[in-house]
Amino acid sequence: MNLKDYLSIAPEIEEALKEGKPIVALESTILSHGMPFPENVEFAHKVEKVVRAEGAIPATTAIIGGKLKIGLTSEELDIMCKAENVGKVSRRDVAVYLATGKTGATTVATTMMLADMAGIRIFATGGIGGVHRGAETTMDISADLQELANTSVCVVGAGCKSILDIGLTLEYLETYGVPVCGYQTDDFPAFYCRKSGFGVDYNIKDANEAARILKTKWDLGLKGGMLIGNPIPEEYSLDYDEMEKVIVKALDMAKKDGIHGKATTPYLLAHIKDLTNGVSFASNLQLAYNNAKVAAQISVELSKLK
Ligand code: PSU
Ligand code: MN
C-alpha cells in the first residue's frame, strides 16, 4: 500500500488542494485531551467557522478506525470530543494506530505530519508542547519540537504554557533551526499571557510577511516548520503571577500523583482548568480562535504567492 491508501481526505479539502485554495490544519488532541466534553464540541465547530470567515478551509485531523483523516465530518468531530477509547497519538504511535485500526487524537507533532502528507502548510493550535520543567532529569521533551525541526508546516500558536521550561524550549528550537517569530510582538507569548519574559528574534508585521518568509524558506529547500507566536488578545489575557502560582500547584500535584510520560500534559491542563474555576478555559478558547484567524489569513496570503 502507498500513502494514499492510508489517507482519507474530505472531498472539500481534496478539491481545495487541487485548486491551491487556502487550508488550515487543526489538531484533535486539543479536543480529546485538552478540553472537557461537551464544551469542546462547540469549540470544534466554532474554530472551523473562524477559519472559514477568513476565506480558508479548515481541516481538523485525527486517526479514526485506522485511517489518517484530513477534515472531519460533524459526527467525526463528535467522536473526538466524546473521546471514548480515543488515544493521544504522537509520531511514534501512528503506525500502531493504523495497523490495528484504532482511533486517536493528533497532537501538534502528528497534525503536522498529517498536514504535510496531504500538502497543507499552515496549522493553528493553542500552544505547542516543549521541554518540560525538570527535563534535565526526566528527559521529558515533547515530540512536537522534533516535528517542527523536520516537517515543513507552519504552526500558529500562543507560544507555550509555562508548565514547560519556556527558555529551554526556545533553546531547543534554535538548535534545530526552527524560526520562532512573534506575530506583531517582540515577546514570545506564554499562552494565557502575552509575554513570557523571553523575546523572539523577529516580529512579523502581518500575514503577508509571514507568508513570504515561509515561501522563501521552502523555496530554498530549507525543510522544517516555523513557529509563529501569536499573543492572546489583551482582553482575555490573564495575570502572569497568578497563573504561575496555579501552574506550580498543578506541577506539584502531578509529582505527588506520579504522573509521567504522555499523561503529563493532559493532567496538567485539566488541573489548571479546575484550579482556576474555568477562568483559564475561557481564555484558552479565545486564544485558539485568535490563532485560527491569523493562521487562516497567512494561508490566504500563501496561496496568493504560489
Ligand atoms: N498544550 C496545551 N494544550 C494542548 C496540548 C499542549 O496547552 O492541548 C497538547 C497538544 O496536542 C500538544 C500535546 O501537541 O499536548 C503535547 O503533548 P506532549 O507534551 O505529551 O508531547
Ligand atoms: Mn512528554
- Tens digits of pLDDT across the chain (306 residues): 899 999 999 999 999 999 999 999 999 999 999 999 999 999 999 999 999 999 999 999 999 999 999 999 999 999 999 999 999 999 999 999 999 999 999 999 999 999 999 999 999 999 999 999 999 999 999 999 999 999 999 999 999 998 999 999 999 999 999 999 999 999 999 999 999 999 999 999 999 999 999 999 999 999 999 999 999 999 999 999 999 999 999 999 999 999 999 999 999 999 999 999 889 999 999 999 999 999 999 999 999 998
Quickly list H helices, 58-107.
74-82, 94-100
| Residue 153 in grid coordinates | 508546516
| Residue 226 in grid coordinates | 516555523
| Residue 101 in grid coordinates | 485500526
Starting from the CA of residue 273, give the closest ligand: 1
Instruction: Mark whether 171 is an active-site residue.
Output: no
HSE of 91 in the Cβ direction (CA atoms, 13 Å)? Answer: 14
Of 107, 133, 164, the one to substitute when testing ligand 1's pocket (max ligand atoms within 8 A of C-beta) is 107
- Report which of 229, 156, 157, 145 is spatially closest to residue 188, judged by C-alpha positions: 229
Give the pLDDT score at 306: 84
Residue 201 alpha carbon to ligand 2 centre in Å: 26
C-alpha span between 218 and 225 (Å, rounded): 9
| Residue 189 in grid coordinates | 507569548
User: At the topology level of CATH, where does 3-305 sit?
Assistant: Indigoidine synthase fold (3.40.1790)
Q: At which residue does the C-alpha cell 515577546 appear?
A: 187
- Report which of 201, 273, 264, 202 is spatially closest to residue 238, judged by C-alpha positions: 273
Give the pLDDT score at 180: 98
The single-letter code of the amino acid at 172 is Y
The single-letter code of the amino acid at 119 is G
The single-letter code of the amino acid at 74 is S
**Which residue CA neighbors atom 18 of ligand 1 most closely?**
142
Residue 156 alpha carbon to ligand 1 centre in Å: 14
Ligand 1-lining residues (CB < 6 angstroms): 27, 29-30, 34, 90, 107-109, 126-127, 129, 142-144, 161, 191, 262, 265, 269
Starting from the CA of residue 112, give the closest ligand: 1
Give the pLDDT score at 151: 98
Residue 2 alpha carbon to ligand 1 centre in Å: 29
C-alpha span between 94 and 110 (Å, rounded): 8
Give the pLDDT score at 277: 87
Domain spans of the chain, in order of start: 3-305
CA separation (Å) from 145 to 91, 128, 130, 162, 214? Answer: 11, 8, 6, 16, 18
CA separation (Å) from 96 to 84, 90, 92? Answer: 18, 11, 8
The single-letter code of the amino acid at 197 is G
Residue 55 alpha carbon to ligand 1 centre in Å: 27
* Burial (CB count <10 Å: 0-12, 13-18, 19+), residue 279: middle
Q: 252: which residues sit within 8 A by CB, 6+ positions away?
A: none
Task: Indicate the pTM of the whole model.
Answer: 0.98
Roughly how many angstroms between the first and final C-alpha of the chain, as a whole number? Answer: 31
Q: Are 80 and 86 in contact (CB under 8 A)?
A: yes
Q: Would you give the DSSP letter of residue 233? A: P
Catalytic residue among 54, 76, 88, 161: 161
C-alpha span between 275 and 246 (Å, rounded): 7
Instruction: Mark whether 42 is an active-site residue.
Output: no
Of 108, 166, 172, 286, the one to substitute when testing ligand 1's pocket (max ligand atoms within 8 A of C-beta) is 108
- Report which of 192, 200, 265 is spatially closest to residue 229, judged by C-alpha positions: 200
Residue 179 alpha carbon to ligand 2 centre in Å: 22
Residue 88 alpha carbon to ligand 2 centre in Å: 11
**Which residue CA neighbors atom 8 of ligand 1 most closely?**
30
List phi, psi (to 5°) of 125.
-140, -175
Starting from the CA of residue 93, give the closest ligand: 1
Nearest 5 degrees, angle CA 243-CA 184-CA 149?
A: 80
**Which residue CA neighbors atom 7 of ligand 1 most closely?**
127
Q: At which residue does the C-alpha cell 513557529 appear?
A: 227
- Report which of 291, 296, 173, 280 is spatially closest to residue 231, judged by C-alpha positions: 291
Residue 204 forms beta bridges with which residues?
183
- CB atoms within 5 A of ion ligand 2 belong to 140
